Structure 1
Amino acid sequence: MSEPRTPGQGMPCGERRELIAGVAREQGRVWVADLVRDLGVSRMTIHRDLKQLAAEGRVVRVRSGATSRTGPGGSWSA
């Protein structure tokens, strides 16, 4: 019998990144520690995802996480 999977285990990276970008957009900010806990993946996986999302211009990297390029709820922030 297999172990129960946490949400991020086995999730394709593109799907996981969409989820991360969506949370950042809705909440305005995401934290690495929260993403590791909630998605059940390693810190390095989250760092790679945030690096890619930042390269795409979808988030702005900050210490220990990222902020949305728009404010919470999708409104633009400078």
Structure 2
Amino acid sequence: MSGVGDTSGKLGPWAVWAIAVGGMVGGGIFSTLGVVISSAGVEIGIVVVKLAILAALAVLGLSGFDAGKLEIAS
């Protein structure tokens, strides 16, 4: 029984699989980040800011954000 809300204290096969995949993806992200930082050199601050802006735009685009419907509180 590895369903959501299972409180038996044991991990089922799907939970173990999710932990393993998450670990692999996380390891890939951190190793790639290390390569990028070593090749960017002193410009890493600029690179991080540009990537943060790009990630924010991607999130806003995927969330269906519409700037035309934005209301400014006064």
Whether TM-score is above 0.5 comes out as no
- By percentage of residues, which structure has more strand? 1
TM-score w.r.t. length of structure 2: 0.26
TM-score w.r.t. length of structure 1: 0.25
- By percentage of residues, which structure has more helix? 2
